[in-house]
Protein backbone atom coordinates (compact mmCIF):
# COMPACT_ATOMS: atom_id res chain seq x y z
CA UNK A 1 0.00 0.00 0.00
CA UNK A 2 2.83 2.39 0.79
CA UNK A 3 4.48 1.81 -2.57
CA UNK A 4 1.17 2.29 -4.38
CA UNK A 5 0.60 5.59 -2.55
CA UNK A 6 4.15 6.66 -3.41
CA UNK A 7 3.66 5.89 -7.11
CA UNK A 8 0.34 7.75 -7.23
CA UNK A 9 1.74 10.80 -5.44
CA UNK A 10 4.90 10.84 -7.57
CA UNK A 11 2.82 10.66 -10.75
CA UNK A 12 0.61 13.58 -9.77
CA UNK A 13 3.62 15.59 -8.61
CA UNK A 14 5.54 14.84 -11.82
CA UNK A 15 2.63 15.88 -14.05
CA UNK A 16 2.16 19.11 -12.10
CA UNK A 17 5.89 19.90 -12.25
CA UNK A 18 5.95 19.13 -15.99
CA UNK A 19 3.11 21.59 -16.52
CA UNK A 20 4.89 24.31 -14.52
CA UNK A 21 8.18 23.71 -16.36
CA UNK A 22 6.38 23.40 -19.72
CA UNK A 23 7.89 19.97 -20.35
CA UNK A 24 5.82 17.86 -22.75
CA UNK A 25 5.57 14.25 -21.60
CA UNK A 26 4.70 11.71 -24.29
CA UNK A 27 4.46 8.86 -21.80
CA UNK A 28 5.57 8.07 -18.29
CA UNK A 29 5.71 4.87 -16.30
CA UNK A 30 6.42 5.08 -12.60
CA UNK A 31 7.30 2.03 -10.53
CA UNK A 32 8.46 1.40 -7.00
CA UNK A 33 9.98 -1.56 -5.26
CA UNK A 34 11.29 -2.11 -1.81
CA UNK A 35 13.04 -4.54 0.47
CA UNK A 36 11.23 -5.77 3.55
CA UNK A 37 12.02 -8.70 5.82
CA UNK A 38 8.68 -10.43 6.31
CA UNK A 39 9.91 -12.20 9.44
CA UNK A 40 9.47 -8.89 11.25
CA UNK A 41 6.05 -8.17 9.76
CA UNK A 42 4.82 -11.67 10.57
CA UNK A 43 6.36 -11.58 14.04
CA UNK A 44 8.23 -14.85 13.58
CA UNK A 45 11.70 -13.56 14.49
CA UNK A 46 12.54 -11.27 17.39
CA UNK A 47 14.71 -8.29 16.64
CA UNK A 48 13.75 -8.12 12.97
CA UNK A 49 12.28 -4.68 12.28
CA UNK A 50 8.89 -4.19 10.70
CA UNK A 51 8.95 -2.05 7.57
CA UNK A 52 10.99 -1.32 4.50
CA UNK A 53 14.78 -1.35 4.61
CA UNK A 54 15.03 0.35 1.22
CA UNK A 55 12.63 1.82 -1.34
CA UNK A 56 13.46 2.47 -4.99
CA UNK A 57 11.33 4.76 -7.17
CA UNK A 58 11.80 4.65 -10.94
CA UNK A 59 10.57 6.96 -13.68
CA UNK A 60 10.60 5.89 -17.34
CA UNK A 61 9.75 9.08 -19.19
CA UNK A 62 9.41 9.62 -22.91
CA UNK A 63 9.97 13.26 -23.81
CA UNK A 64 11.87 15.23 -26.44
CA UNK A 65 13.45 17.65 -23.95
CA UNK A 66 17.13 17.50 -23.03
CA UNK A 67 18.31 15.50 -20.01
CA UNK A 68 18.97 18.61 -17.91
CA UNK A 69 15.28 19.54 -18.10
CA UNK A 70 14.27 16.03 -17.04
CA UNK A 71 16.69 16.26 -14.13
CA UNK A 72 15.00 19.51 -13.10
CA UNK A 73 11.63 17.78 -13.43
CA UNK A 74 12.77 14.99 -11.09
CA UNK A 75 14.10 17.49 -8.54
CA UNK A 76 10.71 19.25 -8.40
CA UNK A 77 8.87 15.95 -8.30
CA UNK A 78 10.93 14.78 -5.33
CA UNK A 79 10.55 18.12 -3.54
CA UNK A 80 6.76 18.32 -3.85
CA UNK A 81 5.68 14.68 -3.56
CA UNK A 82 4.10 14.57 -0.10
CA UNK A 83 4.47 10.81 0.33
CA UNK A 84 8.13 10.85 -0.73
CA UNK A 85 8.96 13.74 1.60
CA UNK A 86 7.08 12.10 4.48
CA UNK A 87 9.07 8.88 4.04
CA UNK A 88 12.32 10.87 3.87
CA UNK A 89 11.62 12.81 7.07
CA UNK A 90 10.05 10.10 9.26
CA UNK A 91 7.64 12.39 11.12
CA UNK A 92 6.66 11.90 14.75
CA UNK A 93 3.60 9.72 14.92
CA UNK A 94 1.10 9.09 17.67
CA UNK A 95 -1.50 6.42 18.28
CA UNK A 96 -4.54 7.10 20.42
CA UNK A 97 -7.14 4.59 21.51
CA UNK A 98 -10.64 5.73 22.34
CA UNK A 99 -12.89 3.21 23.99
CA UNK A 100 -16.46 3.53 22.81
CA UNK A 101 -19.07 2.07 25.12
CA UNK A 102 -22.39 1.14 23.61
All domains of the chain, ordered by start, with CATH? Answer: 2-89 (3.30.300.20)
- What are the helix and strand counts (H, E) for the chain? 4, 2
Q: Is residue 10 a contact partner of residue 17, using CB atoms and an 8 Å limit?
A: no
- The string of pLDDT tens digits covering residues 55-94 is 999 999 999 999 999 999 999 999 999 999 999 998 999 9
Q: What is the spatial distance between Cα 71 and Cα 27, in angstroms, rounded to a whole number?
A: 16
* Mean predicted confidence (pLDDT) in 30-41: 93
Helix (H, G, I), strand (E, B) or coil at 39: helix
Say if residue 41's pLDDT is above 90.
no
Q: What is the spatial distance between Cα 61 and Cα 74, in angstroms, rounded to a whole number?
A: 10
Question: What value does the mean pLDDT of the chain take?
Answer: 95
Amino acid sequence: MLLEALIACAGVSMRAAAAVLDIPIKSAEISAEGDVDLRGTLGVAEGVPVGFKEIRLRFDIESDVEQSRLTELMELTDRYCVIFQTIQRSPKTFVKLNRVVS
